[in-house]
């Protein structure tokens, strides 16, 4: 009788295997290959019209049977401004294995604020191709547009598109994306919640205008883990309403460094609270970690901010609070001051070299002095001639502990 169970098991195993494969296939995402849905791909010639704009996002977005996946296979695609709009019925993955190129004709980018946008999606995964394939490239073709940026000379300058704009995106992940030569900011987040950005690379020339790396506004619970950001403006900028932002393992430079602010411009400024920047390196940047507020300004608050385990190499203003930010004020001083209260800021274990003599500069507002600022284990050397690095502080209350080079602030 022993042969019957043996036979039974022998029969059962293939059935189980087959049915689990079947079940797996059924539960996997429904794949929408853009080439099967309107996008033309002709990778043979450079001037080919590979268009993604014609792709109808409502099909995967309205797929009602579980997760859907948009696949952009390898190849080069020309893409004019497009926004993929939710809400979608299920989770959605947008996987880019190819490289996308932005428009170079002014009629397709002047006064258009977004190149690739995603809006109102819960559960989005936006990812580049697998490691080493060179996929997931968003090439904004910025050199065609930077000359139209006259914003440092006139206030009536045209708007240029952000490479990747995420508005009202929740419970989502962006990973392995490479953004090149954005015409404006590389990645702009607004009103996002629970968003993870992992292993991305952002590149634009040092002199390119307004090419912030990641700009965050009105967003909560954003984690950035692993990024290499070489650009013309801020590496990461957090403006009003940024809360619970965790930045870890970022390499910045060239560019203007990591910035909180400018704050205090809008009359309804929302607070910035709970920012942590850890294990981050700055190389040849204009600033390291900076908090800046407009002067004059409306009242606001920036609090619970930690900058820790940071290396500076040849950075112009490694540790910087600037509450007198007013680039267009010239030398006029009408006596008004920033009303943005800065509270609970910790600088912990910050080491390296400053390319200016003042390595620590905390210039707080005389009407709302900074409170509870902590300097713990600071070692910054001036790499020029003319004596050691110095610290300059005004209207700051706080404590210093551990190593203090330069010393004398708190």
In three-state secondary structure terms, 104 is coil
311 binds ligand NAG (CB under 6 A): yes
Distance from the Cα of residue 162 to its chain's centroid: 12
210 binds ligand NAG (CB under 6 A): no
Q: Is 233 tagged catalytic?
A: yes
User: Are β-strands 287-294 and 317-325 bridged in parallel, bridged antiparallel, or unpaired?
Assistant: parallel
Among 117, 209, 255, 264, binds ligand NAG (CB under 6 A): 209
Report the nearest approach of ligand NAG to the CB of residue 259 (Å). Answer: 18
DSSP structural state of residue 284: S
Beta bridge partners of 138: 100, 179
Report the nearest approach of ligand NAG to the CB of residue 187 (Å). Answer: 17
165 binds ligand NAG (CB under 6 A): no
Count of other CB atoms within 10 angstroms of residue 26: 9
- 76 vs 201 by CB, closer to ligand NAG: 201
171 binds ligand NAG (CB under 6 A): yes
Q: Is 256 tagged catalytic?
A: yes
Distance (Å, whole) CA 282 – CA 169: 29
Distance (Å, whole) CA 231 – CA 195: 22
Chain length of the chain: 410
Give the interface segment with ligand NAG, choosing from 111-119, 173-181, 187-195, 349-357 (CB under 6 A).
Answer: 187-195
Give the interface segment with ligand NAG, choosing from 174-182, 186-194, 257-265, 347-355 (CB under 6 A).
Answer: 186-194
Q: Within 281-300, which residues bind ligand NAG (CB under 6 A)? A: 281
**How many Cα atoms are found within 13 Å in the side-chain-facing hemisphere of 237?**
25
x/- map, 265-284, ligand NAG, by CB under 6 A: --------------x-x---
Q: Within 324-343, which residues bind ligand NAG (CB under 6 A)? A: 343
**How many Cα atoms are found within 13 Å in the side-chain-facing hemisphere of 393?**
21
User: Are β-strands 137-139 and 99-101 bridged in parallel, bridged antiparallel, or unpaired?
Assistant: parallel
153 binds ligand NAG (CB under 6 A): yes
- 75 vs 217 by CB, closer to ligand NAG: 217
136 binds ligand NAG (CB under 6 A): no
Report the nearest approach of ligand NAG to the CB of residue 272 (Å). Answer: 11
59 binds ligand NAG (CB under 6 A): yes
304 binds ligand NAG (CB under 6 A): yes
Among 48, 303, 351, 394, binds ligand NAG (CB under 6 A): 303
Q: Which residue of the set 233, 234, 269, 322 is catalytic?
A: 233
User: Are β-strands 236-238 and 390-394 bridged in parallel, bridged antiparallel, or unpaired?
Assistant: unpaired
Using CB under 6 A as the binding criterion, the count of chain residues that bind ligand NAG stands at 24
Beta bridge partners of 306: 276, 346
Determine the straight-line distance between the first and last CA of the chain, rounded to whole angstroms.
87
Among 344, 349, 392, 394, binds ligand NAG (CB under 6 A): 344
Residue with tokens 């700055």: 282
Report the nearest approach of ligand NAG to the CB of residue 202 (Å). Answer: 14
140: CB partners within 8 A, 6+ apart: 102, 115, 161, 163, 179, 180, 181, 182, 183, 186
Among 20, 56, 111, 336, binds ligand NAG (CB under 6 A): 56
User: Are β-strands 340-354 and 390-394 bridged in parallel, bridged antiparallel, or unpaired?
Assistant: unpaired
Count of other CB atoms within 10 angstroms of residue 405: 15
Give the interface segment with ligand NAG, choosing from 106-114, 124-132, 248-256, 330-338 (CB under 6 A).
Answer: 248-256
The dihedral formed by the CA atoms of 172, 178, 184 and 190, expressed in degrees to the nearest 10: 10
Q: Which residue of the set 186, 188, 199, 256 is catalytic?
A: 256
Give the interface segment with ligand NAG, choosing from 42-50, 89-97, 249-257, 382-390 (CB under 6 A).
Answer: 249-257
CB contact at 8 A, 245 and 222:
yes
User: Are β-strands 243-252 and 220-230 bridged in parallel, bridged antiparallel, or unpaired?
Assistant: parallel
152 binds ligand NAG (CB under 6 A): yes
Beta bridge partners of 87: none
Give the footprint of ligand NAG on this chain (CB under 6 A).
56, 58-59, 122, 152-153, 170-171, 191, 193-194, 209, 218, 249-251, 279, 281, 303-304, 311, 343-344, 372
Give the residue numbers annotated as catalytic, written as ranges: 233, 256
């Amino acid at each position: 009788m022993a042969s019957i169970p043996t036979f039974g098991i022998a029969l059962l195993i293939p059935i189980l295997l087959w049915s689990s494969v079947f079940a797996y296939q059924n539960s996997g995402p429904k794949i929408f290959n853009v080439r099967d849905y309107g996008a033309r791909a002709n990778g043979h010639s450079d001037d080919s019209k590979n268009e993604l704009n014609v792709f109808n996002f409502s099909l995967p977005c309205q797929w009602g049977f579980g997760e859907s996946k948009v696949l952009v296979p390898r190849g080069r695609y020309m893409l004019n401004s497009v926004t993929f709009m939710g809400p979608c019925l299920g989770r959605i993955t947008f996987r880019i294995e190819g490289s996308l190129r932005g428009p170079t004709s002014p009629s397709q980018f002047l006064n258009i604020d977004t190149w690739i946008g995603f809006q109102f999606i819960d559960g989005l995964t936006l990812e580049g191709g697998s490691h080493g394939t060179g996929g997931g490239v968003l090439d904004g073709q910025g050199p065609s547009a930077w000359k139209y940026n006259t914003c440092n000379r006139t206030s009536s300058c045209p708007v240029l598109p952000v490479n990747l704009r995420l508005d009202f995106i929740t419970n989502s992940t962006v990973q392995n994306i490479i953004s090149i030569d954005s015409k404006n900011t590389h990645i702009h987040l607004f009103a996002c919640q629970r968003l993870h950005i992992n292993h991305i690379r952002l590149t634009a020339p040092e002199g390119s205008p307004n090419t912030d790396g990641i700009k965050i506004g009105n967003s909560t619970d954003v984690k950035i883990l692993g990024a290499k950001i070489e650009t013309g403006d801020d590496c990461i900028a957090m403006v009003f309403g940024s809360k619970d932002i965790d930045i870890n393992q970022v390499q910045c430079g060239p560019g203007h460094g990591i910035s909180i602010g400018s704050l205090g411009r809008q009359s309804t400024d929302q607070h910035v609270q709970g920012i942590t920047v850890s294990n981050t390196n700055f190389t040849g940047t204009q600033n390291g970690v900076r908090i800046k507020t407009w002067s004059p300004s409306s009242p606001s608050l920036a609090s619970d901010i930690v900058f820790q385990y940071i290396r500076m190499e040849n950075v112009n203003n490694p540790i910087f609070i600037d509450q007198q930010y007013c680039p267009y004020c010239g030398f006029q001083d009408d006596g008004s001051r920033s009303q943005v209260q800065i509270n609970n800021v910790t600088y912990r274990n910050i080491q390296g070299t400053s390319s200016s003599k003042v390595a620590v500069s905390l210039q707080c507002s005389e009407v709302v002095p900074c409170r509870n600022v902590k300097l713990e284990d600071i070692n910054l050397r001036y790499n020029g001639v003319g004596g050691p690095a110095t610290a300059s502080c005004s209207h700051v209350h706080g404590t210093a502990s551990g190593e203090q080079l330069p010393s004398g602030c708190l």
